[in-house]
Amino acid sequence: MQAESTNCHANRTQAEVQAFSSRPLWTFPSGTLGELTRASHVRASLVLATLPELRSAARDLPPAPMAAEAFAAALRGPAIRVIAEVKRASPSKGAINPGIDAAVQAAHYVAGGAAAISVLTEPTRFGGTLEDLSAVASCVSVPVIRKDFLVHPVQLWEARVRGAAAALLIVRALSPSELPMLMDAARECGLATLVEIRDEEELARALEVGATVIGVNNRNLETLIIDPATAPALIPRIPAHCVAVAESGMQSAHDITPSALAGADAVLVGSAVSASADPASAVRVLAGIPRSTTARR
């Protein structure tokens, strides 16, 4: 019996090693994602010296605003939950709403039923700031996510000090050593994570580092091309114990329905609600769309 157990363990280990070695070698992203990731590395290097100060400031704060379990719970329910995004501009659309007041916009979203708020802090292509993050976190009671092209733990500590409950991590932008490092840093500073993927290999990487809230982006950030079939195809492969979030390219209930039927728990919507003259109503028509509770097991 002992020999049989040992052999099974050896075979399993060999299979795991073979599966890992068969993965495509990670390369630095190309296109727009590559540009934004490089710029983020530069931004991180410029504030790296503030890391001890940020850690000290975080110790003086109340407990983290939203533990990972509570963040996930906010995005679960019998109907689709909406993560509404504060977004002034984007590389694909250019200017969307340059004069947006982040705090006022977020309050409108919450009034419309948003379960969480995503705040873009990338400054050059999205027009975001860390001040936007602080302003939103101070005026809403729902979880606030720092959305950026984060590459270094110092940026997670920035988010924590500014009041974020969670931060976005993009699997394609992070090397096999960077992703677990950032997941560990998020846990250390008390942030939940929304881990973004686009294919099955990235899903495997997300699950290996313990991601429990996983976003599927319909947009290829390297080319900026949207394929609306991406999220509906991948969401059924996300384990049921995880929260599945569909991202990008959705403006109406009709756009959201395929992901809802595939078992998505939530959708992240940015341009449509940021550009709306009535952001509360724009969120309201998207919130509450029935979702399949049997598509993911």
Instruction: Name the residues annotated as catalytic.
Output: 85, 87, 147, 196, 217, 247-248
86 phi and psi angles, rounded to 5 deg: -90, 115
**How large is the greatest C-alpha to C-alpha distance in the chain, in angstroms?**
70
Spatial contact of 171 and 192, defined as CB atoms under 8 Å apart: no
Using CA atoms, how far apart are residues 88 and 84, in angstroms rounded to an integer? Answer: 13
Using CA atoms, how far apart are residues 106 and 223, in angstroms rounded to an integer? Answer: 29
DSSP 125: S
| Helical pair 31-47 and 153-161, crossing angle rounded to 10 deg | 70
Closest CA to 70 of 245, 192, 207, 214: 192
Spatial contact of 110 and 118, defined as CB atoms under 8 Å apart: no
Using CA atoms, how far apart are residues 279 and 90, in angstroms rounded to an integer? Answer: 18
Using CA atoms, how far apart are residues 109 and 139, in angstroms rounded to an integer? Answer: 12
CA distances to 7, 33, 198, 207, 269 from 250, in Å = 50, 20, 16, 25, 7
